[in-house]
């Protein structure tokens, strides 16, 4: 995985790139009902799988969640005061219920405040199965039929 600082005329705040040639799949239990439980499950499975936990890695999760809290940032031009609450409410936001989604995330325990929030090792975005909605994942509840995809271990 490659990290790039991108400061151009558009002033990109975040750019994380990963190229994954092959994903390996791991079935997850249906009792995951929070972001904290998802993080713990991903960490445990990745460690068991043999990923280097000293390095960030991308992951995918596919399945259905009873609730998925989300937002999309639409920051007002000229507003230079950034808060977590503004990030969640500056644009469209809501809760999906019983939707089949794909989640693309990155895990790192050493990038808090850089590409993960200060209180988590995950940064995740989602897209609905019909691709009608995508955004940043803020919270989730009761997953089922979940599959975790990790980069093939020999990469």
Percentage with pLDDT > 90 across the chain:
49
For the chain, the distance separating the N- and C-terminal CA atoms, rounded to the nearest angstrom, is 10
Residue with tokens 């904290």: 36
131: pLDDT strictly greater than 50: yes
0.85 exceeded by pTM: no
Percentage with pLDDT > 70 across the chain:
79
**Domains along the chain?**
22-151 (3.30.1330.80)
Query: Residue 48: phi, psi to the nearest 5?
Result: -60, -35
What is the Cα–Cα distance from 71 to 111, expressed in whole angstroms?
A: 21
Residue 140 pLDDT level (bands cut at 50, 70, 90)? very high
Q: How many CB atoms lie within 10 A of CB 9?
A: 5
Per-residue pLDDT tens over the stretch 3-54: 444 444 545 466 677 888 899 999 999 889 998 999 999 999 999 999 988 8
What is the Cα–Cα distance from 32 to 17, expressed in whole angstroms?
A: 27
Per-residue pLDDT at 142: 94
Per-residue pLDDT at 7: 45
80-93 core/surface letters (b: 16 or more CB in 10 A; e: else): eeeeeeebbebeeb
Per-residue pLDDT at 52: 87
């Amino acid at each position: 995985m490659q990290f790039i600082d991108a400061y151009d005329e558009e002033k990109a705040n975040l750019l994380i790139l990963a190229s994954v040639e092959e994903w390996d799949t791991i079935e997850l239990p249906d009792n995951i009902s929070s972001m904290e439980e998802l993080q713990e499950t991903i960490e445990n499975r990745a460690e068991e799988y043999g990923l280097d936990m000293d390095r960030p890695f991308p992951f995918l999760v596919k399945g259905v969640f009873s609730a998925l809290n989300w937002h999309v940032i639409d920051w007002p031009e000229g507003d230079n005061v950034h808060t977590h609450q503004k990030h969640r409410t500056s644009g469209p936001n809501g809760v999906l219920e019983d939707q089949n989604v794909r989640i693309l995330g990155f895990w790192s325990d050493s990038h808090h405040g850089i590409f993960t929030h200060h209180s988590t090792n995950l940064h995740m975005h989602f897209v609905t199965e019909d691709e009608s909605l995508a955004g940043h994942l803020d919270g989730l509840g009761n997953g089922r039929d979940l599959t975790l995809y990790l980069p093939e271990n020999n990469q």
